[in-house]
Amino acid sequence: MGQVRIVTDSAAEVDPEVAEELGIIVVPLQVRLGDAMVVDSADMRTPAFHEATLRDQQLPQVVCPPSRAFRDVYSRLSREADDIVSIHTATFPCNTYRPANEAAATILGGARIEVIDSTFMSAAMGAIVVEAARAAKAGADGPEVIRRVRGTVPHTYLAFFVDSVGVLKRSGALKYSEQPLPPSGGGKPLFVMEDGVIGPQFRMRNKGTALERLVEFVAEFLILKRLVLWHSGLVPEAKELRELLVENLEVQGPEEHIYGPSVASLLGHKALGVVVVEGGA
C-alpha cells in the first residue's frame, strides 16, 4: 500500500506537535502587522498576541502563500509518496485552494495530488486535516483518505459570536452572505460558517444569551466525535461556556483552541465559539 502525505496551510492552525507526529506538512501564510510582514506561526495563537495587537488598535492582515510555495512542497513529496492530499480553503481567511490547485497542475509524474477545499478555517479545518492524517498513518490509501476527508467535511461545524458585528462587516467576512443580520436589539447574534460562507444562524429555538445559544447549538448533535472551545483567550465568557457545556451536556473536558491572526483578521480579537465534529464522520 503506497504512502499518503497530507499537506495543509497555517490557516488550519494545526498544533505543531500534532503536525510533527502525524507527518502533516504546513505551508505558512504571511501576516501583516502594521508595516511588518511576518510568518504565521503557533506563537501567534496566544492571548499575548491578541493583547498586543488589540493594544496597538490594529487587526492583522493575512497574505496567501504563492503557488510556488505549494509547488516546492509537492515536488519534494512526489518523490517519496504515491498520493498527496492537500487540504485548504477557497474563501476565508484567504483562498489557499487556488494557488495549491495551480501548483498541483504543474507537477507531472510522481505522486497523485488531490487538492480539497475544506470550506472551513482554523480549528474546524484543522480537525479535517488531522482526520486525514490519522487515516493515512493508519495505512489508508489515497482514495480512502480522500473519501474520509469528503465524508468529514459535512459533519464539521463552526458556530461563534463576536464582540462587534462591525468587525465582520469591515473585514468582508459577511460579503458572501445573502442572509440579513438580526435586529441590533436582539443581543449578540450567533454566526455559523457553512460551505465557506459566514452568516447568521436563525434556526434556534432558544432566544437566551449568546452562551445559551451556543450550548443549544451543540446539544443538537446526538454524538460528539470532537468538541472544541474556540476563542482568543481574551473572552471572559469562555470559562462560563465550558462550565455550561459540562453541566448541561455532560461533556467531559472539551478541547480548547486559541485562534491566531488569520481568524483575528476576520472576526477581531474577541470571538467565542465551538467547533463540532459530529459522530459517525
Q: Give the pLDDT score at 177.
A: 53
Which CATH architecture fits 4-154? Answer: 3-Layer(aba) Sandwich (3.40)
As a whole number of angstroms, the longest Cα–Cα distance in the chain is 59
Q: Which residue has the cell 505522486?
A: 111
Q: Where are the alpha helices (DSSP H) in the chain?
A: 16-22, 47-55, 67-77, 97-106, 122-137, 142-152, 165-171, 210-219, 237-249, 261-267
Per residue in 62-101, pLDDT (tens digit) is 999 999 999 999 999 999 999 999 999 998 889 999 999 9
Higher pLDDT, 233 or 167: 233
pLDDT at 11 over 60: yes
Contact between 3 and 82 (Cβ < 8 Å): yes
Q: Give the pLDDT score at 1.
A: 47
Per residue in 226-274, pLDDT (tens digit) is 999 999 999 999 999 999 999 988 777 799 999 999 999 999 999 999 9
CATH 3.30.1180.10 domain locations along the chain: 155-278
Q: Which of 47-51, 204-208, 213-217 is predicted least confidently? A: 204-208
Contact between 152 and 42 (Cβ < 8 Å): no
Whole-number Å distance between alpha carbons of 35 and 192:
32
Whether this model's pTM surpasses 0.95: no
Q: Which DSSP symbol is given to 175?
A: T
As a whole number, mean pLDDT of residues 23-33 equals 97
Assigned CATH class of 155-278: alpha beta
Q: Give the pLDDT score at 203.
A: 60
Higher pLDDT, 1 or 36: 36
The confidence band for 166, taking pLDDT boundaries of 50, 70 and 90, is: confident
Whole-number Å distance between alpha carbons of 2 and 18:
22
Per residue in 100-110, pLDDT (tens digit) is 999 999 999 88
pLDDT at 134 over 90: yes
Query: pLDDT over 90 for what percent of the chain?
Result: 74
Let me know the angle formed at the C-alpha of 192 by 131 and 176, rounded to the nearest 5 degrees. 105
Q: Give the pLDDT score at 181.
A: 59
In SS3 terms, 140-165 reads as: CCHHHHHHHHHHHHHHEEEEEECCCH
CATH 3.40.50.10170 domain locations along the chain: 4-154
Per residue in 180-213, pLDDT (tens digit) is 555 544 568 899 999 998 988 866 555 678 899 9
